[in-house]
Amino acid sequence: MKVSGKCPKCGSTDIKENMMGGMGNIMSGRYYRCGSCGFTEIWQSKSDVKAIYALYTILLGCGLGLLGYFFFVA
């Protein structure tokens, strides 16, 4: 649907891009939805994948930092 602009299920050209806000957009990608039948495709680009890896790296670093703080300081 993203490339052709046509719904593969019903053939309609009423395609809308639905983007979830915040973390939902990073984790799942972009949704392309047919306005006629509701068929949905999810597309994820390389930048979305890089954002997911960056998020996991930050969360892991914060978790290890807190663990180190409690282990050595507290």
Q: Is the pTM of this model over 0.85?
A: no
- Per-residue pLDDT band for 5 (boundaries 50, 70, 90) equals confident
Residue 33's CB is within 10 A of a number of other CB atoms, namely 18
Cα angle value 34/2/46 (rounded, 5°)? 130
Q: Where are the domains of the chain?
A: 1-43, 45-74
CA distance 1 to 68: 48
Beta strands in 1-74 (DSSP E): 15-18, 30-34, 40-43
For residue range 7-57, list pLDDT tens digits in order.
989 989 999 887 665 555 556 677 888 989 989 888 877 777 787 788 889
